[in-house]
Chain A
Amino acid sequence: MKNLLAVLQDWEAVIGLEVHTELTSLNTKMFCSCPVAFGEEPNTLVCPVCLGLPGTLPMPNKAAIESILLAGMATNCSIEQRTMFYRKNYFYPDISSNYQITQGPVAFCMRGWLDLHVTGKAALEREDRLGTSELPKACASEGYATRINITRIHMEEDAGKLIHVGGADGRITGASHSLVDYNRCGTPLIELVTEPDLRTPEEARLFLQSLRQIWLTLGISDCSMEEGSLRCDGNVSLRRRGEVEFGTKTELKNMNSFKNLHDGLAYEICRQADVLESGGCVLQETRHWEPASKHTTSMRVKETADDYRYVPDPNLAPFDLSDDFVASVRTQLPELPDEKRARYVDSFALPYADAVSLAGDVELAAFFDEGVKRPVPLSPPLSPSLAPQALKLANLLLNDVLAYLNASGLTLSKTKLTPQGLMELAQLIAEGTLSSKQGKEVFALMLESGEAPQKIVEQEGMQQVSDAQSLEAIALGILEQFPDKVSEYQAGKTGLLGLFVGQAMKATQGQGNPKLINETFVRLLEGG
């Protein structure tokens, strides 16, 4: 099989995604008052309604409707005020009533879009697009922008979970029997469907990442791909470059990480190219991505469309959402990652890549915003612009803090760091009171004790010697000690500067401000 980049030279991949998100932030299920939770004992979070017992009726969860409206507003969808629930009828033991309550032709959210900025290595899968569209000015690296249209976002209830016993890997093949856990049954779920506008696995990955960042910013879900609260299926087909007609698509399942989404689609694209180039036909089928062996296997071939006998659910009156209700939901809309990114670039002159990373992490961004909002008054006073401190704070968050979080497995709120404390550290470094090395030491002590950096600096006597007069005195003393070297330097051997600086650092026990020492020597030696 050819590799992906080679395949994409000849073929254009057409990809659409279906993204399911469980609204895990809600207190209760979609149509009953059972709690929404993961990992509880099987069948303990159930009631007659979500068990579909005879005579029960669904009552819609208002908070879930608010969540889906937020999701639609954040992805530029039009909000449909008149919509209704339908029943999708099919028999399977994980759905307790043998129909899923979902939406019909009109969903709460229709016709949205997201713009993707594909840069760096991610852009290579679509070399032909490099430079074809304008990226934000601040974005220095090469790439392209592309708009992905969203068909709809509809509301539905999740099914329970089948646990297959006796087969390999918990799959149904070879299992002797199956158990059903209805805890998840009735969990509010939103399904977003994109137009077939994605062209590369990287775009798909980027889309899902952007979407996840938006959902997390909205706070509607914990978006855990591992626990299945964010799930993504992909539809993919190939056509020759320049061709208009779509090829036959396959539906790809079990891509439960960003890497699996990318790799699964990449494999499937290569597989389809292989089939087509050897004169075969792609079958319309559902395929399962096997991350371990890195290939896809056929689950079932779709010869005809399934007939789900959709019918309006007579138990749920059609919605006619008031303008006031929609407006009140819109006021809850927080600042979205793209807006945040732009603000970080505009207000703090953060580098574009840093702004993207920071804006894309809800916790780090909140920490950053809190830090720059209330800087602690320090002596010497803040520089007129916050930019250097903010930049340093961003660096600390994206490097030191992130590295610590990854290593410790903690979330930011579980550490002893505070936004004010970290901002204080950023300021001490930015204004030269601490060297970078000292900054790292203070950071380590902050993690341990939770003390404010200023206090740590005092306790440890770490203050950098930044007093120009005392540094000049030290420098003059050193120059007097090494008259030969001074002559050599002045004869052109400027590399000797390191020696002088080293001596000065020694004299200040490593606490001299290296930048200032450097400048002092240059001035003295070159007769400034």
Chain B
Amino acid sequence: MNYPQLSVAAIRDGLLARQFSAQELAKVALDTVKSIDPAIHAYLELCPELAHLAAEKLDAALVAGTELPGLAGVPIAYKDNMNLQGTHTTCASKMLENYQSPYTATCVAKTLEAGALPLGKLNMDEFAFGSSSETSYFGPTLNPWDLKRVPGGSSSGSAAAVAAGLATVTLGSDTGGSIRQPAAFCGVVGFKPSYGVVSRYGVVAFGSSLDQVGALGRSVNDVAATIDAISGLDPLDGTSQALKAVYSQTTQLGVKGMRIGVVTAFMEAVDVEADISTAFTGALAHLEALGAEIVEITLPNAKAALSAYYVIGPSEAFSNMSRFDGIRYGYQNEGASCLDELYEQGRANGFGKETRRRIMLGSYLLSSGAYDTYYYPAQQVRTLITQDYHKAFEKVDALLTPTTARTAFEFGEVADPVSMYLSDIFTIPSNIAGNGGMHVPVGLGKESGLPVGVQITGPQLKDENIFRAAAALESCYPSIARLAPVGSTEGSAL
């Protein structure tokens, strides 16, 4: 049995059938990371003690015969903006290179309660500012399908680790596409729930009204099981929602009778690569064949989403990033002669270029005068886009769009920040409106040989629609490669 190929359900079955113990699984999972990760650099830190501790507990539960929790024995890893007591939370920044959190994020704690085995922390764009992992202070993560290419970002390690078999599922965060875009580039399932489904407590904030924690995995069912474990109302997050969906029970319902919307006008406005549009039309045909009704809809204001996003995101980020001043924790420049110098030097040297760019942008956008010109209209645009979605979802149950306009690009290929920002055009609208969205891989592109797929978006807080459609679509591609051919899998046998 080869560990990287095991699903959440298979791990559970294997444990129950005593085919392997949780301890054995933890060891193999960690060994796999050790042997393969040097090739792609998805991990920033491993936490073997925590993994073995969790495995020990699980084995004891198996012996005692108690019922196994939802993610029993599932090797999991976390984007490094999520606090896990006993590990660093670096946000891939020099600023937090040595920072260890004294508490654990709610979403992380919930995976541990659900019996998952924590392997470690994953690389990302610095403070989640980026779409390629190139802004990580610790160096980029490489795309397991083609090491010359970026894995996407900012949840770069989260996507690459799953694609390379270095974790069964991972957690990521998505502010403008940071789960779905790397999932697309690495050919894995990546899901951003509706805003409020998963607690943000303990996840270092980027844009608090846009941020949402989600999961990545090699199948819709694995992701559903993970979201089932981490979702729900959190008394520590006032924006978390009380609905407790059981997504893993919706994946078998099928797509028959569902109304799937397509937004032709929006797609035509963007220069979509041939591999991507082929994937899109193929997926659409499959859904129709399965009994879905295809409905043409419009999102007239969606084209303004990017502009609103690049006002609201940096504005919130500017304020969220203020706490990193080197006074209580984090990077502090030696030899500052006064307080202002301490702030200036520490933040100039502790933050990377893209982080500084976003902070400066936000600082400008919120300054008196600019606030009324940019921030306020951006909020109005946000309301319009949200209304567009509400109207659209009166007619349809889910939307089908591309996730990205193109497949993974090469390192250094996109040097202009604005072009980089444009890579999120299909994902940003749902962050603006607070809807859930999922990338579903449909194989490798004919021309590029790189992973391609589609995005399914659902009505706000009705993410079960997404899981229904995604699981049905996934069943149409039974033989696509789910693991990237990277490194040797010798150490991965159970």
- Chain A interface residues toward B at CB < 8 A: 48, 51-60, 87, 89, 91, 93, 96-99, 180, 305, 307, 309-311, 313-317
Contact = CB atoms under 8 A, between A and B. Distances in A.
Interface string B186-225: 0000000000000011111101110000000000000000
B494 interface: no
A305 B327 CA distance: 26
Given A307-B368, A315-B208, A56 B201 contact: yes
B105 A57 contact: no
A89 B322 contact: yes
B83 A87 contact: no
Contact of B204 (A55, A60, A89): A55
B48 to A, nearest CB: 24
B236 A55 contact: no
B410 interface: no
B322 A99 contact: yes
A55 B199 CA distance: 11
A280 B324 CA distance: 44
A54 B103 contact: no
Interface string B318-353: 110011110111000000000100010000000000
Given A91-B343, A93-B327, A311-B375, A53 B102 contact: yes
Contact of B202 (A55, A89, A93, A313): A55
Contacts of A54: 83, 89, 91, 96, 99, 101, 204-205, 323-324
A208 B208 CA distance: 39
A48 B328 CA distance: 12
B398 to A, nearest CB: 27
Given A89-B319, A314-B209, A57 B327 contact: no
Interface residues of B, number: 44
B318 A57 contact: no
B13 interface: no
B367 interface: yes
Given A91-B322, A180-B327, A55 B315 contact: no
28 contacts: A52-B323, A53-B102, A54-B101, A54-B205, A54-B323, A55-B82, A55-B89, A55-B105, A55-B200, A55-B204, A55-B205, A56-B202, A57-B238, A58-B238, A59-B236, A59-B237, A60-B238, A91-B343, A93-B327, A93-B339, A97-B323, A99-B319, A305-B368, A309-B371, A311-B315, A311-B316, A311-B375, A315-B205
Per DSSP, are chain B's interface residues mostly helix, strand or loop, or mixed? loop
Contacts of A316: 238
B102 A57 contact: no
Contacts of B489: none
Contacts of B200: 55, 57
Interface string B344-371: 0000000000000000000100111001
B101 A55 contact: yes
Given A57-B239, A311-B319, A315-B238, 20 more contacts: A52-B323, A55-B81, A55-B89, A59-B236, A60-B238, A87-B319, A89-B319, A97-B323, A307-B368, A309-B367, A309-B368, A309-B371, A310-B366, A310-B371, A311-B316, A311-B375, A314-B208, A314-B239, A315-B208, A316-B238
Contacts of B236: 57, 59
B235 interface: yes
Contact of A317 (B239, B325, B363): B239
Given A55-B203, A60-B238, A309-B367, A314 B322 contact: no
Nearest to B96: A54
Contacts of A97: 322-323
Nearest to B339: A93
A80 B482 CA distance: 55
B234 to A, nearest CB: 9
B360 to A, nearest CB: 12
* Interface hub of B236, B339, B367 (most chain A Cβ within 10 A): B236
A57 B213 CA distance: 14
B124 to A, nearest CB: 14
B185 to A, nearest CB: 26
Given A54-B83, A97-B323, A315-B239, A309 B366 contact: yes
Nearest to A304: B368
Interface in B430-475: none
Contacts of B208: 313-315
A513 B315 CA distance: 82
A314 B323 contact: no
A99 B328 CA distance: 15
* Interface hub of A54, A93, A97, A305 (most chain B Cβ within 10 A): A54
Contacts of A98: 322-323, 325
Contacts of B205: 54-55, 315
Nearest to B375: A311
Nearest to A31: B238
Contacts of A93: 325, 327, 339
